[in-house]
Structure 1
Amino acid sequence: MKYIFYLLIFFVSFTCFAQRENEFSKTIKDAQRLVYKQPDSALVIVKRVLAKPNLPDTIYGSMYNIYGIYYGMRGNNDSLIYYQKKSISYLDNYPEFKARSLANLGVGYRNKGEYNTAISTFNAALEINRKIKNDTGIAVDYGELASVYNTMGDYEKSINLLISAIDIVKKDKKQDKLPALQQKLANTYLAQRNFKFAIDLYMDCLPNFKKMGQLKNYYLTLVNLAEARIHLEDLSGAKSALAEAIKGLEDFGDKSIIGISYGKLGNIEEGLGNHAKALASYKKGLELMLQVKSNRAVRVASEYIGLLNKDKNAVAALALAARIDRSGLFENSPNEDKMFYKKAVGDAYSNNNNESAAIKAYQETIVMKDSIAANDRQTAIGEAQAKFETELQREKNAALQANNKSLQKTIEAEKTRRWLYGMGILAIGILILLALRGYFLKSRLQAEQLRTIEAEKNMIQQQHLHEQELTNAQREIIDEKQRELTSTALRMANFQDGVMQIIDKCNTGEISKMSDLKKELQTLAKQEDYWKQFETRFNNLHPEFGNSLQHRFTKLTKNDIEFCSLLKLNLSNKEIASLLQISHESAITKKYRIKKKMEINDDDEFERMLTEM
């Protein structure tokens, strides 16, 4: 009976403990689910659990981890780091949980711009996950490391890490980590200015984030989607995405991301011609970001200063620059943000007639631009720099050898003079030697300065030539597409001529049987729809032409716009008449009616307007 009693007590205790563990496990899952879409509700659960005494270390570690994530959702990176460190202190004996908290700790460091610390933290988490063979954890760590390298401008490392992470996740049946990795990959392509591919990836991520309840990631993706659309001049689409993002982000209270969103909205409003709204958006966004000391405030500030420079308001622009400099955010900002900021500050100094400060800012801009130049230029620049340094060192060695020979001759001469003239002549010789040495050093310094100036001049010329080559290449592509479009238009005219020939054959009696007519029509039907090809290719070459023309001249019909498209290709009235199967006089009359709708009388003005549209 005694043993039975002890067994009964043990069984009851074990059952209660198991029930408590199951209860906590469910509570942790609820909090983890809510923190990404209803962070305040998750915080209530965390506080309620932590108020209970004598909890297991895993519960303390998990709860403080969620506590840190909560502050990460709010954009408070200092609190995120504090609670993740507290979480880690309970998890030394639980490697999987510790690796997870280390990864979240790295996110906090990355958001603060402390990239080296972030990399070492993610690598620590990666080492643990490799030891315990946690493939999902490895994929997550790869993704977070990729985000750091993306921000630092090392896109090759970022893409390689993300591809490895995606390969790992695709082996998992759930694949619940895949949308986040696709989002990070899209961010890297966005940074590389591959906007169309980035948009495709963002559009794939959005429904998955919404379905999984990861609303913060959903709104962040909308912000980046808006950025890509801005670059593709889809301002209405970008504005719509930002409006939804800002409204949703208000629930999370992340002032840094909301500030970035308002900065992008300012960019859009300026593009739409709403200058006052643009200034207000930039001001609001920058104030939010400075409140939380976001390192991305430097980019928003550079665009805000650019608008103030446009208004010739140098005083306000320089006051804003001084505020950014005092904040200490510049040093931990991405290199590209620093470059744009220095360029804007240089323009502000120039508007304020402070040319020396402007030149200094422009020089710093050139240095930063060179540091983030394309990889294909980096190799060439490195080789040129190495060659320059080799030549410079060779010149220094030759100068030193010549100097040594000169010194040896001088010493020998001094010995002879010392023997002949004594100590007095020796003193004069030393003075002459010192004077010669000073002159030589001064001459060499001037020569070094001239070589440095010449090297900088050559580098700037090379940069100018590279940019000119890119411009010429783009112009050649546009001309080629224009020729292709014109060719398509003329082939379309030939197609329509074929239709008219069949009609003429019917009228002259060459085709009298229905079977012959059917055969002719079938042959003609197999040809391509050139007008549809023309319309598609014209829209690819001039995507905004039709919409801009319709918006500016509301009286124009669809046929009028199609007629204007042919005029934009510099087709003659005769060629257009042949293409549209109308008379030459009808083409002239059509052109006259269109000019009348546009209220334009002068032919030169009409052609210039179509060319510039």
Structure 2
Amino acid sequence: MRGSFIVIFVFVLISGFAQDIDSVFLNKKSEIFLLKNDDDKVNALIKAGDEFIDQDGIKAEYFYNEASLLIEDKNSSNQARILHQKGRIYRARGDYSSALDAFLESEMIYKNNNDVERIAAVMVDIGIQYRYLRKPEKAISIFNKTIEFAKRNNDSANMGRSHNMLGGVYRVLRKYDSSFYFYNKAQSIFRYSKDSIKLNEVQSNMAMLYGRQKRYDKALEIHLGTLEFFKKLQNVNNVVTGYSNISFEYRMLGDYNNALKYADSSLQLAKENGLKRDVTNAYRSKSRIYKDLKNYQEAFKNHTFYKRYSDSNLIVKKEKEIRDIELRNQLEKEKQELQIVSEKKEIRANLYATLSIVILCFSIITALLIRRNYKERSQRIEDSLEKETLKKEILTQKIKASETELKNLIADNSMRLEFITRLTQQIKEDKDSAEDRNVKNYANRLLLKLQQQIVTENKLSLLQDKITEVNKNFDQNISNKFPNLTKTEREICSLLRLNLSIKEIASIRNSSTDSVKAVRYRIRKKMEVPKSQELEKYIQTL
């Protein structure tokens, strides 16, 4: 009675999967059929195949085959993608020679197109294929190469896949410490990239490792959790594997009823989807469970089915076929390499001929250019001499204009001195006649200020000869040394060179002391005079 219930349960589950998948499949076909452009159809067909590959390999292969018929360039990235995915389908069916052939051909096209990310992806699948062909050393070598390749190209996804697969190889080899190490590395990578599907796959693999260490309760807990995750995604391949793993753990715990239930679930779903390798595993699991139950008749019956589906003899028979595929792939690579070398030689010969012509033309052009440049250089020298003469004349005129401006300033100063002297005399006379003490005090203060101004003006009136003497050629020298100085800044430099105060310079230029201070600051900055050095002393050294 319990056995009937299990069969009904599995049938209902499979029917639910099948109805949903069939409905989506028909809708996809209708949508793609309506597309007019072949390129759009190819892309849509490949996308549809990718969506079905984990649910129904037969339907996925239909879409890939339809896309392949529309592709004209059989060395395109799309063709390589189709071969890659079909290799995965062949592997799930247990057709390992066809799978390896598809993977190797896909890898060659990816490399020719320099499709870096997909090169790494197909390398992982080739490594998995050698693992299934029971060649662990070759699989380990390929996974390690893939990790190095993925590192160089910042490809975390395929780096994580390679670590996960290495964990599986070392688990089969019973090197459990190494297996845990690579599984943990894979988990870290997929947690960081937030890839929940790959993370659950790694956790399922780690659970199998716990089972090999006889930690069955822990393994069962993880398997039940990952099974629910993959059921929600309708990921058939991982659901089938999950049923098989749970059956094993229940068997090890002595719960044979549950062990049989999950083995039957795995078997029915694997048969429905043509997963030959999983069908084989399911029959072997059932045979062992019945043997533990001492039901030798059922054990023998399931063992017979296991032998019928088993790849153990098939792998030996196909060794030559696999070697032929590898040899054909190697010959194709060498043929391509020879073709590349031949093309390079032809290109090199053409390049040498072209270079010879170019060098001859270049020599003729160079001779003509040298002759023309000689004439142009002679003309430029003549033009330069004329420009220098013109510059000197302009500079002389500027100096004369500066001297005229300075003379005008001195003349203005003399007039101010005369006016201040007369004003002082007038204030003295008015003060003497005034009777109010406040007026007299104010007049005294005013006279004191005027006297100070007279001293300054007298001092400035003596500047003409001194400026002419001291600043001879100074303006020209300072212009050459500091070409970014303005005319006003050069004039202030001339006055600072005479060690005049800011107030005196302001009086000469009839401007405010703040204005002179601002100009003085700009001069210091342009001349790059440090704050620790007096600007006047620096200017006097020029």
Structure 2-normalised TM-score?
0.49
Larger Rg: 2
- By relative contact order (CA 8 Å, sep 6+), the higher-ranking structure is 2
